[in-house]
Amino acid sequence: MTPDLKEHYDYSKWLSEKELTPLEKTYLTILIWADQRLRIVDYLESMENLYYKINMQMPRSHTEQYNLDNKFWYWYPLFALGTFSVIAYIVAAISGALLGFYYSPATAGDPSVAYNQITYIMTDLNFGFMLRSIHRWSAQVMVAAVFLHMLRVYFVGAYKEPRELNWIIGIILISLTLMFGYTGYLLPWDQLSFWAGQIGVEMALSIPILGEWVAQLMFGGFSLGQATLQRMYILHVFVLPFAVTTVIAIHIGIVWMQGIAEPH
Amino acid sequence: MKRKTYKKQKDNVEFPILTDGSGLMQNPVPPDDQTPSWSERKSRSTGLAQLTYEYFERARLEDQDIRSRADYLEREVLGFPMWPHEVVRGFAITSFFIGIILLLSAVAPPHIAAPANPSQTPAVILPDWYLYWSFGLLKLEPLNPALSILGGDKIMLDRTFGVLANLVVVGFLAALPFVNKGKARRPVEEPFWAAFGVAGVVFAFTVSVLSVKNLVPLNSHLLFDLTFILPVLFGIVFYSLLKTMREGYMYELNRRYYRLRPPKPYRPPKPPK
């Protein structure tokens, strides 16, 4: 049964009666239009509830207990390393997406298509040399920042009691970051890439029992070729970005819930 | 961001602590009547769900117990304002970091090696620098024990040994919070673990050097020995250094300790019978 629309409040009348600037009027019109269809107010209310009801903090804060506010600032650079790795990750993602427009993972030809595309990016493409440089350096910086971040966490004992889980997630993240670096290292398909890949296959084969299976799965065979490059490419641009982004979100979410382990 | 202050409760008779997540009665925001409390949910459910709600109820009670007893929650300001403090600082730091990345990429752009050639092994095979440690752990074959039980054969293939060494290092790191427990945080409070960390960092460097041993102008046996001796040496030096520093810190640490728990009045020991 169609509800009688006359029962509804006449919002257009209400709008015309009010004295509004054009900006306010546009805003209210859009808001009312969207709210009548999506009931945004429900979501806003529940967000507000969340904001007031969930106290996303550990009950005890060390800075408060020992009055360390005035001593915190000189530790700040060390405590910004996590942020630094996220920023580097974002820069790498943007420059990587732009590089992805011009790269193709194919070993056909001599030198291979992949190698030719990198040469093209570095010599012919406008800003291509800069783009590749930025991508590579942001990756290097990310790895360095992640390592230093881990050292900071170790030396201030931040991995201890309530934060064991986040430490383990961090170990997973650093391994995924190294895998990111490794798969990216193989993509230009130059001599270094090829022989680094060779070492990778041999490492995979040396794993007891599972070795051959792992080598098949990750490298697409026991000798390097098109399948290897294809897999490294998909790992680098599809699998790892989703995995790493998700795990980073969980990692930071837990930091949000638990608070930062302050130095003392 | 200013909010109403919490006033410390001397007794909780007038204002009982609610265990449904709404906190003290004089909470700035009163609880929504529509939201069932944990106690209500508990009474309505059975089995595992009931247990879950019971736990939530209890956990909330603990939180609020701590809050009501702590005096450091009595304050006007709950945090720095997002705008402008945090936003300006965040923007400055972000720009600075991105600037560093751009500067590095402008100063030292990467180059590309010769195209892949399966028939010609280059003289130097290297991963990126951040994998040197892992690459170095693959070259530990002199440590792989040859057992007389096996007729002088090694216990496993050298390369399997190297891969296992990687797994052991990563596995130990993951297990660290369960190995080193306790509340101590400062390096001076736990000289052993701080020195262990220093030894670990030094080992990461030395094993990285080992991985490029054909580029290092040193006798390879000497290099191999140094790989393991240097970390231990650094560990010992830092251990004694931190122990010494701890003596200097003792006064401050004791003062802090006794501020938390005032010392008991002195009682002379009982004479032995």
Q: What is the arithmetic mean of pLDDT over B52-69?
A: 73
pLDDT digits (tens, 9 = 90+) for B30-47: 455 556 777 877 888 887
CA dist B201 and B231 (Å) reads 8
pLDDT score of A10: 74
**Mean pLDDT, residues B90-111 taken together:** 92
Q: How far is CA A78 from CA A87, A139, B169, in A?
A: 15, 19, 24
Top-confidence residue, B126 or B170: B170
Residues in chain B closer than 8 A to A192 (CB atoms): 113, 122, 125-126
How much is the average pLDDT of B159-179?
91
Give the one of B102, B160, B185 whose C-beta lies nearest to A264's C-beta: B185
Domains of chain A (ranges, CATH numbers): 74-258 (1.20.810.10)
pLDDT at B246: 80
CB contact under 8 A, B118 and A224: yes
Mean local confidence (pLDDT), B53-71: 72
Residue A46 sits at the chain B interface (C-beta within 8 Å) = no
Question: Is the pLDDT assigned to residue B201 strictly greater than 60?
Answer: yes
Q: In Å, how far is A208's CA from the nearest CA of chain B?
A: 7
| Interface predicted TM-score of the whole assembly (ipTM), two decimals | 0.72
Least confident of B5-9, B159-163, B185-189: B5-9
B36 shares contact with chain A (CB less than 8 Å): no
Domain boundaries, chain B: 1-76, 81-107, 125-260
Higher-confidence residue: A263 or A167? A167
The pLDDT of A111-127, averaged and rounded, is: 94
Min Cα distance A216 → chain B (Å) is: 17
Instruction: Please say if the pLDDT value at position A4 is more than 60.
Output: no
What pLDDT is attached to residue A17? 84
Which of A92-101, A155-164, B127-136 is the most confident on average?
A92-101
Give A237's pLDDT tier (boundaries 50, 70, 90): very high
Q: Is the pLDDT of residue B17 over 80?
A: no
Please check whether residue B72 is in contact with residue A64, taking contact to mean a CB–CB distance below 8 angstroms.
yes
pLDDT of res. A131: 95
For residue A134, the one-letter residue type is I
Strand partners, B77: B2
Say if A192 is an interface residue toward chain B (CB within 8 Å).
yes
Note the pLDDT of residue A68: 60
- Of A178, A225, A161, A238, the closest CA to residue A198 belongs to A225
pLDDT value, residue B185: 80
Proportion of chain A above pLDDT 90, given as a percent: 54
Q: CB distance B112–A118 less than 8 Å?
A: yes
Dihedral of the CA atoms B193, B198, B203, B208 (nearest 10)? 140
pLDDT of amino acid B239: 95
* Model pLDDT for residues A57-68, shown as the tens digit of each residue: 444 455 555 566
The residues in B 2-21 lying below 8 A from A, measured between CB atoms, are 21
Beta bridge partners of B18: B23
Give the residue on B whose Cα is nearest the Cα of A127: B106
Q: Which residues of A69-81 are buried (b: 16+ CB within 10 A; e: fewer)?
A: eeeeeeeeebbbb
Q: Report CB contact under 8 Å: A190, B197.
A: no
Residue B102 reports pLDDT greater than 50 = yes
The beta-carbon neighbor of A157 closest among B35, B135, B185 is B185
Q: Does A57 touch chain B (CB under 8 A)?
A: no
How many angstroms away from the CA of B267 is the closest CA of chain A?
A: 30
Within 13 Å and on the Cβ side, how many CA atoms surround B35?
13
Per-residue pLDDT at A36? 76
Say whether B98 and A133 touch across the interface (CB within 8 A).
Answer: no
The nearest alpha carbon in chain B to A153 belongs to B185
Mean pLDDT over B178-204 rounds to: 90
Q: What is the pLDDT of residues B235-247, one digit of tens each?
A: 999 999 998 888 7
Chain A residues 217-256 within an 8 A CB cutoff of chain B: 224
Residue B151 has pLDDT above 80, yes or no: no
Residue B70: the pLDDT is 65
Full DSSP string of A182-215: HHHHHTT-BHHHHHHHHHHHHHHHHSTTTHHHHH
The confidence score (pLDDT) of residue A67 equals 60
Q: Pick the residue from chain B with its C-alpha nearest to A203.
A: B163
Q: Mean pLDDT for chain A?
A: 85
